[in-house]
Amino acid sequence: MRIKGAIIDELRSLDWVPRSVRARAREVERANAKLEHLLQRAPTDQEIADEMGITLDELNDSLLAISHSSIVALDELWSVSDSSGDQVSLMDTIEDPNAPDPSRALDVGDLKDRIADSIAKLPEREKLVIALYYYENLTLREIGEVLGVTESRVSQMHTKAVLRLRSRMQEESFDD
């Protein structure tokens, strides 16, 4: 127990993101998923803030703090559960990287469809931020100029969109 505790303490000391920020990100994701399930649509900022019991300004501050700490490993989207319930990366199961793999092509197509469906369910402004950022390769400042908002607000909208997409993708993973 003491060794495990020491290992966990050391890992926490190496983490550059405060635990409170990580906890707040999980709270926002849970509130968003719960409201989305109940309302059958993307909840508004005010609805998320009300669900969390905080003000809209506190939610925006939280989204800004979360946006500065979000690093997403792309291979997380490529993991599946095997028959024992363990997470197995699809990248680890490829035998010959030069041979075309039809099942992988099908999985990639399915993943793209799921992501596209999730993006389509986003509110219009968040959809626009995602499109401008990832497809048009605009900076947050340039997106802010297009939308007529500050770079900070674009960062908040981007973070919220990514959190919504992540919660939807995880929700779909649990439904499968």
pLDDT in tens, 60-86: 888 888 776 656 554 554 555 656 666
- Which tokens belong to 18? 């405060």
> How many C-beta neighbours within 10 Å does residue 67 have?
20
CA 61: distance to chain centroid?
A: 17
Return mean pLDDT, the chain: 82
Cα→Cα distances 172→7, 81, 128, 168, Å: 33, 13, 23, 6
The set of residues, in sequence order, having a beta carbon less than 8 Å from that of 27 and lying 6+ positions away, is 52
- pLDDT (tens digit, 9 = 90+) per residue, 119-164? 888 999 999 999 999 989 999 999 999 999 999 999 999 999 999 9
Answer yes or no: CATH 1.20.140 is held by domain 2-71+121-175: yes
| Separation of alpha carbons 131 and 121, rounded Å | 13
